[in-house]
Structure 1
């Protein structure tokens, strides 16, 4: 499906970014493309904005993010320092802190340069210019949202800094940064088009609905429940700010033929390897080896698998659930099958043929190879589970090269943010349930009335139900780490062993694999430390507590 051309970047811009990429935030030189001789045409301005789009995030962060949480474990290496972060074995010198800090401020720098200079393009259509400014303000707000979420107080920079100015910056209080983000998103939404008004060539660009949904997420992370309700109600059942709906198929939601479907609100843009250079290959280290995976880097945990309900709406092990520990994947929430690969999984291949995946030791009929069987220290999954979600059947067979867009915000999140806010306000009743969690479960494949109807339970159990629904719906999409941090349960779920399937030593943790021992210090780990190198260069950057 056609996407706007994010591969097109001006030569002057490339030169400027190559210079600034070698420097820290506070050493970035004046960029050459800010000169008046660059800002002469709409195309040149668009090149800068397109660069800002490429800096929103990357596939490496996306696919490794879940391993920061209790949903997955990075057992092969420490890509993006996901293993170190999950295990709590890090300090302010960790490379991830330095790189992510730089990546966000590099994106902010591009947006600031664009916003400061785009008015020099005098021949640009006024409506187009207003829209492009709104896109840049949204992207800048996105970066600041993630910065304050990870670090709390961070420097708030609204213009392109000189070297001398950069050496004197200090951290801005988190509340002030959040206020800036919210105001920027309001301003952006005013000038952004609704999703249905985008031309085919512009699909993938930021829309009014995306700005409102991101504002709701920012407010959610701040526990501003009434404000979350206000923003979500601008999108639920209305079309003034865009037309959105749950895509009918949970499996199909993540397939390339359904990009830009009714549920997608904001995503990372990629192109197939045959079309352009912006593609990714991370899935080759998530997929089973027997279907072409190289090795397993990120493996779903038993804790994630245990979170999926039975088809009757009960938790595994709950009285009357029908759960059988010796046949654990039967009659489960269908989203489990569309997300996690387990023993005897029926893998659908591109030609629609089925291949059985054997993960239990000694179970593969082909004992000469037994590609996917769990074995301690091997290149197979360290938990006995692989990933299915985001498998692209059209990817290149040799390396799973894919141009499938990666969804950052979807309409299901709006519904679940609304349900959570209503729950926290004591207002989650059958009418709210029936337009949020019920349709999400029905789309997933639940048919049992006990699973679909509003549960008659107390407030604490209702909170657990709503939170678990987020976990099941968004598993392996990178949101879990933010949820457990804002709920302040990370010190519970990230302390102790992360487990795998029941292929471990008998008598130890019920026979479930002990995959990774983790620690989380509530006194300091809820905020990342300011990168050591940044503080060495700029002593005005104070450090977070405990670091």
Structure 2
């Protein structure tokens, strides 16, 4: 259910409380009477509201939808709200604008309800109560960060507001909101436990390390390089907020059996049979029982993967052989191997002139724009855990219980490297702590050219670090924020999206090419305040161009 800002005072929880923030199962059914003193009588009831706040922090739909807003994928089937935004065609009535606004304020309502009532639960220990407050304060800060990143100035308040107040509230300057976010995250980082201090039953709960990492990300979005370096350093060169490290296998990092590994700082939680997500049904190969290919990786993304030797890929090189192994772990290309839920490995054929399938599986071949198959000649592999036990229903069902990573230690390393370079402090020591470690984990050749820093030129290093960030975090919903803060959206989103060389013209295969989009630097770096909200509250001003 999508919540409007005007209905902020009507907190509606849907169905059962489907999961706890960690591994603890919910046993209490929330009601809509959370301000009634008779509700706040037990720890379980308080946890029900806190757990709902966790659930409202983010969604799998937005995680995948955010990637559609970037140049990493092309939405070739139908026209989504995200495609309209990415191509500069959205107006203030776009449903994505309204949904994100409403969902965030709905989550903030939940947070305020919890924070203003949890002290009534006298049976809850003071220590646990303060810890739960810190978790919910983190969620509230993350929701305001999402809002101010998309819309700029937004209404900001730290207590529950009345129905009448919600109709006249005004927008708060972005700088003021960000200052509050930084202070809030600093305060909760001092309260929350480290990841090592949680019991296994609490796996997945917000930690002090998550608060520090999110604060670093907030500073990253401001291009505040000194603060980015300071906060990422707390996680790289200190154990005060927990010990983190890269998981040794990049592909298996995104498998259920490894979801609480030492690289995961924050993840969106899912529970088998109880709370699952099925988005990959519209991104995986058709032969893997996908429904259709809603969107697919672009050739621009594929081209950004280096050779294993560390050299840039060129047209003279093989299309996919000897590439950065993260390519194969992220993208399905023609000739890729795919293992089905029964453990049977087969070859994915996407080339239109390739052999036809003889095993009864649906075809993955490129058949042109607007069809169920891929529009670019590529499919998603990331998140596609091959284990049948990772899905509700097993077999060919795509209801996954995999936790979706929201912040990884790899991102911390990349933020640190970028900040150090922008500050003119990149050197072999920083490189070896960050880029070298990422490439070593990925499986690059063990040579100086592949692993060692090759230049001191800040501009060249900037391009290298940005490309490293693109491939390491590909399909994780972060690229859109990078191209926006780098102010290159008006360049990369107005270039013609390309796919593999599967477009036949006069007997010759050329790159698949689609019309370029539009992006106005004077308008599209901020989203429009939803028209429906301004119809209700005339005090809400509008961003330029909407």
Same fold flag (TM > 0.5): yes
Instruction: Assess if the C-alpha contact under 8 Å between 1:499 and 1:512 holds in 2.
Output: yes
1:10 CA drift (Å): 4.2
Task: State whether residues 364 and 370 of structure 1, in contact with CA within 8 Å, keep that contact through their aligned partners in structure 2.
Answer: no
Q: Residue 324 of structure 1: SS of its match in structure 2?
A: coil
Query: 2:316 corresponds to which residue?
Result: 324
Alpha-carbon distance between aligned partners in 2 of 1:240 and 1:256, rounded to the nearest angstrom:
28
Compared CA separation, residues 172 and 364, structure 1 to 2 (3 A): same
Question: Could you tell me which residue of structure 2 aligns to residue 374 of structure 1?
Answer: 366
CA shift in 2, pair 1:284/1:295, >3 Å:
same
Tell me, in whole angstroms, the C-alpha distance in 2 between the residues paired with 1:55 and 1:117. Answer: 19
| Aligned counterpart, 2:385 | 392
Matched, 1:347 2:338: yes
Aligned-pair distance for 1:324? 3.4
Tell me the SS of whatever aligns to 1:359. coil
The alpha carbon displacement at 1:5 in A equals: 5.1
**Normalized against structure 1, the TM-score is what?**
0.92
More moved, 485-494 vs 495-504: 495-504
Q: For the residues of structure 2 that align with 1:534 and 1:509, how far apart are their CA atoms?
A: 52
Q: Distance in 1 between matches of 2:325 and 2:337?
A: 13
Rounded to whole Å, the distance in 1 between the matches of 2:339 and 2:357 is 19
Instruction: Give me the whole-angstrom Cα distance separating, in 2, the residues matched to 1:236 and 1:174.
Output: 29
Instruction: Give CA deviations for 1:257-294 in whole Å, capped at 9, x if unaligned.
Output: 00110000000000123xx1x10111111111112111
Q: 1:106 offset after TM fit, Å? A: 0.4
Aligned to 1:280: 277
Is this contact kept in 2: 1:6–1:51, CA < 8 A? no
Contact 1:264 1:411 (C-alpha < 8 Å) held by counterparts: yes
Contact between 1:4 and 1:204, CA under 8 Å: does it hold in 2? yes
Residue of structure 1 equivalent to 2:350? 359
Conserved? CA contact 2:277–2:401, under 8 Å: yes
User: Contact conserved, 2:289 with 2:362, CA < 8 A, in 1?
Assistant: no
Task: Give per-residue Cα distances to partners, 1:150-190, cap 9 Å, x unaligned.
Answer: 01000002111111111110000000010111111011111
Aligned counterpart in structure 2 of residue 432 of structure 1, from 417, 430, 433: 430
Q: Report the alpha carbon displacement of residue 516 of structure 1 after superposing the two structures with TM.
A: 4.8
Runs of 4+ in 1 over 6 A off after TM superposition: 367-370, 507-510
* Uncovered stretches (5+) of structure 1, i.e. residues with no partner: 17-31, 318-322
Query: Where do 1:91-490 residues align within 5 Å?
Result: 91-273=91-273, 276=274, 278-317=275-314, 324=316, 327-366=318-357, 371-376=363-368, 377-393=370-386, 394=388, 395=391, 396-447=394-445, 448-490=447-489
Query: Aligned-pair distance for 1:107?
Result: 0.5
CA gap 1:220/1:74 in 2 versus in 1, 3 angstroms: same
Aligned equivalents of 1:492 and 1:255: distance in 2? 35
Contact kept, 8 Å, 1:284 with 1:293, in 2: the verdict is: yes
How far is the alpha carbon of 1:9 from its aligned partner? 6.9
> 2:470 & 2:497 partners in 1: Cα distance?
16
The offset of 1:42, in angstroms, is: 1.2
Q: Once structures 1 and 2 are overlaid, which stretch shifts more, 217-226 or 84-93?
A: 84-93
Range with greater deviation from structure 2 (452-461 or 239-248):
452-461
* SS state at 2:101 partner: helix
Quick check: 40-49 or 478-487, which moved more? 40-49
Residues 479-538 of structure 1 show CA distances to partners (whole Å, capped at 9, x for unaligned) of 000000000000000003111101124499982111353111111000001000000100
Which residue does 1:521 correspond to in 2? Answer: 520
C-alpha deviations, 1:68-109, integer Å up to 9, x for none?
100001222345x22212222210000011111000000111
Please say if residues 155 and 170 of structure 1, whose CA atoms lie closer than 8 Å, have aligned partners that are also in contact. Answer: yes
Residues 116 and 9 (structure 1 numbering): CA distance in 2 closer, same or farther, change over 3 Å?
farther
SS of the residue 1:408 aligns to: strand
Q: Tell me, yes or no, if the aligned pair for 1:339 and 1:389 is still in contact at 8 Å.
A: yes
**Hey, what does 2:5 align to over in structure 1?**
none
Match of 2:544 in 1: 545
Query: What CA distance in whole angstroms lies between the structure 2 residues aligned with 1:351 and 1:238?
Result: 43
CA contact (8 A) 2:263 2:409 kept: yes
Do the aligned partners of 1:292 and 1:397 also contact (CA within 8 Å) in 2?
A: no
